[in-house]
Homo-oligomer: A and B are copies of this chain.
Amino acid sequence: MAQSIEALDILAEQFNKLEGVGRKSAMRMAYAVLDMPKEEAERFAQAILEAKIKIHRCPVCQNLTDQDICPICTDPARDRSVICVVADPKAVNAMEKVREYRGVYHVLGGLISPLAGVTPEDLKLRELVNRVADGSVKEVIIATNPTIEGETTSRYLSKLLKPFGVNVTRLAYGIPVGADLEYADEVTLTRALMGRQIVDD
C-alpha cells in the first residue's frame, strides 16, 4: 500500500479537476507545490483568489476582463458594426493575432452540444441578440471551431439573427476540420477570415 497523506491527496484532487490534467500529472503538481518555498505557495494561493475576484465578464461582449468594460469594447478604433462570435476567451486571443480584424467580439461561453447537455439557453445568446437588435451591426462573423458543435451553433445563430437583416458569415474552412481554433497559426486564421462565407440555413 502506497502511503497516503490527506492534505496532499486533496491538493492533487484540485489539480486533477483542471481541464487536461490527469491523476499522475496532478500528483506531480501537488508535490511541486510542497517543494516550493512557503512564500511562493502563498503567492500561488493568492493568485487564484485574486484572479477570481478581479476578473469578470465584460457586460458588452462577455469576454473576460479586469475592467468595467473590456479594452476591445472601449477602443474607439474598433468597428462596432462587425461582431465576431466565438465560443470562449481563448478564441478572442487567437483572433486578435489576426491584425486584419478590426471589429469587436461576442463570447458565447460555450457551444451548443446535445451530448454534453449544453443548450442554447446556456449560451450568451440574448446578449448577442440585444446588440444586433439596435440596428448598428452590419455583419456577424461566426468563428466557432469547425466541429459538430461549432457547426450546430453556427446554424442556430444564422436562424436566430436572420430576422434582423444582418449578414451572418462563417470563417472559411482554411482551419483544418476537427482542430482547435486556439492552435491554428496566424496565416491559416487570416485566410479563413478572408474567405469567410454567408451561412446558409
Contacts and interface: CB of A to CB of B under 8 A. Distances in A.
Interface string A76-115: 0000000000001110110011000000000000000000
A71 B63 CA distance: 49
B96 A64 contact: no
A28 B33 contact: no
A177 interface: no
Contacts of A48: 11, 14, 33, 41, 44-45, 48
Contacts of A89: 31
Contact of A7 (B7, B54, B97): B54
Contact of A51 (B7, B17, B20, B71): B7
A185 interface: no
Interface in A1-60: 1-3, 5-8, 10-11, 13-14, 17-21, 25, 27-34, 36, 38, 40-55
A161 interface: no
- Among A11, A29, A97, find the residue whose CB has the most chain B CB atoms closer than 10 A: A11
Contacts of A7: 47, 50-51, 53-55, 66
Given A44-B48, A89-B31, A66 B3 contact: no
B96 A2 contact: yes
A188 interface: no
A167 interface: no
A64 B9 CA distance: 12
A3 B33 contact: no
A198 interface: no
Contacts of A11: 47-48, 50-51
Interface of A: 1-3, 5-8, 10-11, 13-14, 17-21, 25, 27-34, 36, 38, 40-55, 63-66, 70-72, 88-90, 92-93, 96-97
Given A1-B96, A14-B48, 5 more contacts: A3-B63, A3-B65, A3-B96, A7-B47, A17-B32
